[in-house]
Amino acid sequence: MSKLLRIGVLASGGGTNLQAIIDRCMDGSLAAEIAVVITNNPGAGALDRASSVGVPTLCINHRDFSQRHEFDGAVVKALQDAGVELVVLAGFMRILTPHFVNRFLGQLMNIHPSLLPKYPGLHTHQRAIDAGDSEAGATVHFVTPELDGGPTIVQARVPVLKNDTAELLANRILAFEHQIYPLAAEWFCQGLLELRDGNIIFDNELLPAEGVSLEIREKQ
């Protein structure tokens, strides 16, 4: 069996994206192991999801640090100690310092619940509804120092329905997040993805701004 890539996951909340990645590691379709799950939130559901399957966890509470760079330094050290080769942000609600981002540049991914570059930041679903958008979605992107601004790896597009609330739309998009995030991690594990001079090279070709083009269906 070929070597498993070591993934570090940073999560602050429920951890359903973490779960999707755990599931794909466990069924063998993702050639990776989760080396550590780190949270800044002692109450994060992600901690239970990880520890229930024996994945090492660590809580590094940002409230224990007076400076952002000290918190980031502790997280970087923990990831390095765990020998992490890919860092996956899965609902991690802290903004990372450029020092952190540059340390893992090209090995650091995020998932954001909008069709970036539309709606960086918070309340993305409500903003899409308020704007009367006909479609919304989620984006997996490499992280660069600009918030939600790194190049897109893959997007899932989801229609906005007439009676959508932010919650309904968020739940529908989340189901697609659970497909595209493990997929992007898998491409990384297969050595297909490379961040080069702010662009993505996918399978030796320059990727267009909207990322890998993909037909994704809702799972039944």
Q: At what angle do helices 166-189 and 16-26 cross, to 10 degrees?
A: 40
Q: How far is the CB of 161 from ligand GRF (least distance, A)?
A: 18
63, two tokens: 């409230």
Nearer to ligand GRF, 77 or 123 (CB): 123
Burial 61-95 (b: 16+ CB within 10 A, else e): ebeebeeeeebbbbbbebbeebebbbbbbbbbebe
Residue 147 carries which DSSP code? Answer: T
Q: Per rule CB under 6 A, is residue 16 in the interface with ligand GRF?
A: yes
54, two tokens: 């024996």
Q: How far is the CB of 36 from ligand GRF (least distance, A)?
A: 17
Indicate the residue whose CB is closest to ligand GRF.
91
Q: Which of 14, 73, 106, 145 binds ligand GRF (CB under 6 A)?
A: 14
- How many chain residues touch ligand GRF (CB under 6 A)? 14
Q: Are 124 and 112 in contact (CB under 8 A)?
A: yes
Nearer to ligand GRF, 76 or 136 (CB): 136
Binding pattern for the stretch 90-129 against ligand GRF, x by CB under 6 A and - elsewhere? xx-------------------xxx----------------
Q: How many helices (H) and strands (E) does the chain have?
A: 6, 10
Catalytic residues: 112
Residues of this chain that bind ligand GRF (CB under 6 A): 11, 13-17, 90-91, 111-113, 138, 174, 177
